[in-house]
Amino acid sequence: MKLPEVEDHMQKAVEATQRSFNTIRTGRANAAILDRVMVEYYGTPTPLKSLAGISTPDSSTITIQPYDRGSLSLIEKAIMMSDVGINPSNDGSIIRLNIPPLTSDRRKDLVKQAAKMAEEGKVSIRNIRRDAIDSVRKQEKASDISEDESRDLQDNIQKLTDKYVSKIDQILSEKETDIMTI
């Protein structure tokens, strides 16, 4: 495994963590909280954003306009069954989600959830590091690279790991600030 390849994998892990953070609601309406909602549409789990137009007309409302009116009740049911924690209101053509203000206890729970997602991201970066270092050690055993080259590569891999773990810490602190801001 080459260094640019390792760095690319680590960057993708940071981006995946960022996408996970986007699904945590912060008190403002954000269509990304619906990214993980899957609707059972004609017997197939389908992402909600494939079945409907999602918009945020104001800071406390999300509107969902299905492309197929027949899927309205399916979408409503999927939102109720999901971990979004908001009850949808259906007026026959549009589903509205009114985002209530977050309580301080709920904010603390969301911070814990974000910390858990950040830890998962760090674990994936550490797994990438482990695989890369194992690859370097195998190359050294096979005499493809010298001991010094091996040590240098392992040091560089560790530096990349530290860099990307600190990036996750940074986006976590930004998310915590976002969640705790009233």
pLDDT tens track for 123-178: 999 999 999 999 999 998 988 888 899 999 999 999 999 999 999 999 999 989 88
Which residues, in sequence order, are bridge partners of residue 38?
Answer: 47
The fold of 28-98 is Gyrase A; domain 2 (3.30.1360)
Q: Where are the domains of the chain?
A: 3-21+103-180, 28-98
* The domain made up of 3-21+103-180 is a member of CATH 1.10.10.10: no
Distance of CA 33 to the CA centre of its chain: 10
Q: Where are the alpha helices (DSSP H) in 97-146?
A: 104-141
- What's the token pair of residue 109? 């729970």
pLDDT bracket for residue 182 (50, 70, 90): low
Question: How do residues 143-158 score in pLDDT, each as one tens digit?
Answer: 888 889 999 999 999 9
Contact 93, 151 (CB under 8 A): no
pLDDT bracket for residue 27 (50, 70, 90): low
Contact 12, 167 (CB under 8 A): no
Higher pLDDT, 171 or 49: 171
Q: At what angle do helices 147-180 and 104-141 cross, to 10 degrees?
A: 170
